[in-house]
Amino acid sequence: MSDKKSFPEHVAIILDGNGRWAKERGRERTYGHQVGAANVKTIVRAAGHMGVKVLTLYAFSTENWKRPPIEVRFLMKLFKSYLISQLRELVEDNVQVHIVGEPSALSDDLRKEIAACEKDTAKCDGMVLNVAINYGGRMEIVQAVQQIAREVKSGSLDAESITEETISAHLYPSDAQDVDLMIRTGGESRISNFLLWQISYGELYFTPVLWPDFTEEELSKAIDWFTGRDRRFGGLTEDKK
């Protein structure tokens, strides 16, 4: 189990600070998103080289639709462009890609590229990359409960047999392990409705570094911080000896 190890197997990152990064340079917010997207490539490759098994990136939340329409349209085009331009490198790096979130609100073109990317990387058995687009932690749990309720109603699932593992199996992706380390860039100290079920015992690392400036060195710093933590999981330190 990952809780007995000093290295985080599942790292989740809230990519925050693109807009502020651009504003500090007198540029439009969209420019910050563009630079931030380029940095995703750097961090994905760095995480894989470091030995991270699962990397989950919070790219667009269900609440982000409230942003100006021009910014939302730019982000959707950026997601599509990233999937198209990076697919070959992801396959070469043996990265298996999953897009997590509610796809119904996404355009047909974007859903098509998502399906193609997931299909083309399905046989990759290196690091797993989850990209959360139109994702909300509460929505994820609600949808899981609804599906479980349907299975109970149909008789395919006994209500008395429902466990934590049952709920985990109905989240997306269903085979994702719990988060060991969650990183939020940009200086805010909140989790913003991200992976609420999966971070129950995860360590939370908040850094003032804005996402476009979050380098491989910064990722290494966060992992070094994690390895120094005493993860007791509700027990006492002496219980682990």
Each residue's pLDDT tens digit, 92-132? 999 999 999 999 999 999 999 999 999 999 999 999 999 99
What torsion do the CA atoms of 85, 95, 34, 77 make, to the nearest 10 degrees? 60
Residue 177 has pLDDT above 90, yes or no: no
Q: What does the pLDDT read at residue 241?
A: 52
Q: What does the pLDDT read at residue 234?
A: 54
- Are the CB atoms for 118 and 85 separated by under 8 Å? no
Q: What does the pLDDT read at residue 2?
A: 37
Q: Which residues are catalytic?
A: 16, 64
What's the pLDDT band for 236 if we cut at 50, 70, 90?
low
> Could you give the number of structural domains in the chain?
1
Q: What does the pLDDT read at residue 51?
A: 96
Is residue 141 one of the residues assigned to a domain? no
Is residue 155 one of the residues assigned to a domain? no
Write the pLDDT tens digit of every residue in 10-19: 999 999 999 9
Give the Cα separation of 94 and 64 in Å (integer): 31
Name beta bridge partners: 205: 183
Q: Range of 74's domain?
A: 2-136+177-240
Over range 216-223, report the average pLDDT.
98
Q: What does the pLDDT read at residue 156?
A: 96
Is residue 191 one of the residues assigned to a domain? yes
- CATH number, domain at 58? 3.40.1180.10
- Are the CB atoms for 9 and 52 separated by under 8 Å? yes
Over range 41-49, report the average pLDDT.
97
Q: What is the mean pLDDT of the chain?
A: 92
Residue 4 has pLDDT above 60, yes or no: no
Amino acid at 180: D
% pLDDT > 90, the chain: 89
Is residue 157 one of the residues assigned to a domain? no
Q: Tokens representing 107? A: 């355009």
- Are the CB atoms for 167 and 161 separated by under 8 Å? no
Give the other-Cβ count within 10 Å of 71's Cβ: 15
% pLDDT > 70, the chain: 92
Residue 240 has pLDDT above 60, yes or no: no
Q: Hey, is 192 helix, strand or coil?
A: coil
Q: What does the pLDDT read at residue 229?
A: 74
Residue 239 has pLDDT above 90, yes or no: no
Is residue 226 one of the residues assigned to a domain? yes
Is residue 156 one of the residues assigned to a domain? no
Q: How far are the Cα atoms of 129, 175, 238, 239 from residue 14, in angstroms, in the given order?
A: 14, 21, 33, 32
What's the pLDDT band for 3 if we cut at 50, 70, 90?
very low
Is residue 150 one of the residues assigned to a domain? no
Is residue 166 one of the residues assigned to a domain? no
Over range 8-33, report the average pLDDT.
97
Backbone angles phi, psi at 184, to 5 degrees: -120, 125
